Chains A and B, each alone.
Chain A
Amino acid sequence: MKFRGPLLGLVPLVLLAGCLGVSPEEARRRGLNVRGDDDDGDPTHNPGTPCLACHAADYNPGDDVFALAGTVYFHVEDPDSRGLAGVDVYARDARGREMHAITNRTGNFMFDVEGGPDGVGFRERSNGRTRLFFEPEYPIEVWIAQGGTEQRMRTPIRREGSCATCHDALPSATSIGRVFLMETP
């Protein structure tokens, strides 16, 4: 019983230890090269960054939760801030359910979900948003179109809801480059 005092003194230290450091999700979010306020609910923020880093079902300091979201550019090498507005983004999930969104002024689009895995249909909203009434099932095929030009993703998305996770700024060994509409002349 005479050890109770020191043990009680340790309890706050143990509790404090739980506050040290950050979760992997938080560390990833902090590592993103985000521009300006990223938590203001404006769907034009942070084009070119992996949206689900802050808007995933299991980690969402940005409040909104997306199933699939990204930024479309005119050319593959365009800078982060020059996304392309008014691009039709189409997707079809493993069950053949189609979805559509139109990019906003910074090229961003996002699909959020209201419903379970067996729902159907979607509703286009403003500013790049579309609400799905089902949880899309992978693999998901994606294609984009504008003004008679179409680009189709050569391989389906298997699990990653953020386009920018694989489509990072510059083509490299680990990135295929931006989601783009036109081949560079």
Chain B
Amino acid sequence: MRWAWIVLLGPLALVGCVEPQAALPLPELDVPFYQQHVHPIARWSCTALECHGVEGRPLRLYSEDGLRASGDLRGQPLSDFEASENALSFEGVDPVPRSVDEHTALTKPLSVDAGGLFHEGDDLWLDRADPSYVCLRGWLAGELDVVAACEQAERAIEPPP
């Protein structure tokens, strides 16, 4: 029996030496694309003053109806500075994800059943085919050919009459 244990210990010890999956630095995030296509979705889903529109909270986001970078911006469109800061927040919440699909900004709003993580603000996307997911993923990955998905997502969040 002793030999059997020793044989088992060998592979177990090696497991500790396995190199973790290589981290993936994000490409530089395109701020104008964020402003035009991603922010309308974030404004609806993420940036409320009780959610990510709070200083000090992970993924702090500025928006027209939420937190402003300064009080005199209230009532004004999102400023270039605020858009840049929001992009930095997305980058900062998971600066070196193992893959784009594992980026925290994508896994937190994604349903746990679909491979996401628990999110205090509930599940925003039931699966990875959600247009909002596709739009945000494309922006984070630097694959900006997702405009159609972004526009579809934006149409879906129009408040009903």
Measuring CB to CB, which residues of chain A are less than 8 angstroms from any residue of chain B?
A: 138-139, 141, 152, 154-160, 165-166, 171-177
Task: Choose, from B28-36, B62-70, B90-98, the stretch at the interface.
Answer: B62-70
Complex alpha-carbon distance, A10 and B48, angstroms: 48
Residue B146 is within 8 A (CB to CB) of chain A in the complex: no
Contact at A157–B48, with CB atoms within 8 Å?
yes
Is the Cβ of A154 less than 8 Å from the Cβ of B159?
Answer: yes
Known contacts A173-B71, A174-B67; is-contact A165 B159 (Cβ 8 Å): no
**Docked complex: B111-143 residues within 8 A CB-CB of A:** 120-122
User: B71 to A159, Cβ gap below 8 A?
Assistant: no
Given A141-B159, A152-B159, A155-B43: A175 in contact with B75 (beta carbons within 8 A): no
Residues of A close to B160: CB separation below 8 A: 141
Q: Is B155 an interface residue (CB 8 A)?
A: no
Q: Is the CB of B121 within 8 A of A158?
A: yes
Q: How far is the CB of B73 from chain A (nearest CB, A)?
A: 7
Interface centre among A152, A159, A173 (most CB of B within 10 A): A173
Is B50 located at the chain interface by the 8 A CB criterion?
Answer: yes
The listed residue with most B CB atoms (<10 A of its CB), out of A160, A171, A176, is A176
Contact A155 B48 (CB under 8 A): yes
Question: Within the complex, which residue of A160, A166, A173 is in contact with B70, where a contact is CB–CB below 8 Å?
Answer: A173
- Chain B residues with CB below 8 A from A159, complex form: 50-51, 120-121
Contact B69 A173 (CB under 8 A): yes
Inter-chain CA distance A177–B66, complex, in Å, is 11
List the 6 closest pairs (A to B, CB-CB), nearest first.
A160-B50, A166-B49, A172-B71, A171-B74, A173-B68, A173-B71
Q: Contacting B50 at CB < 8 Å: which of A152, A158, A172, A177?
A: A158
Please name all residues of chain A whose beta carbon is closer than 8 Å to the beta carbon of B44 when the two chains form the complex. Answer: 155-156
Contact present for A138 and B48 (CB under 8 Å): no
Residues of B within 8 A of A152 (CB): 159
**Apart from A154-B65, A160-B50, A174-B68, what are 13 other A-B pairs with CB-CB below 8 Å?**
A157-B50, A158-B51, A159-B50, A159-B51, A160-B49, A165-B49, A166-B48, A166-B50, A171-B74, A172-B71, A172-B74, A173-B69, A176-B65
Bound complex: CA of A126 vs CA of B119, how far in Å?
A: 38
Query: CA of A155 to CA of B65 in the docked complex: distance in angstroms?
Result: 8
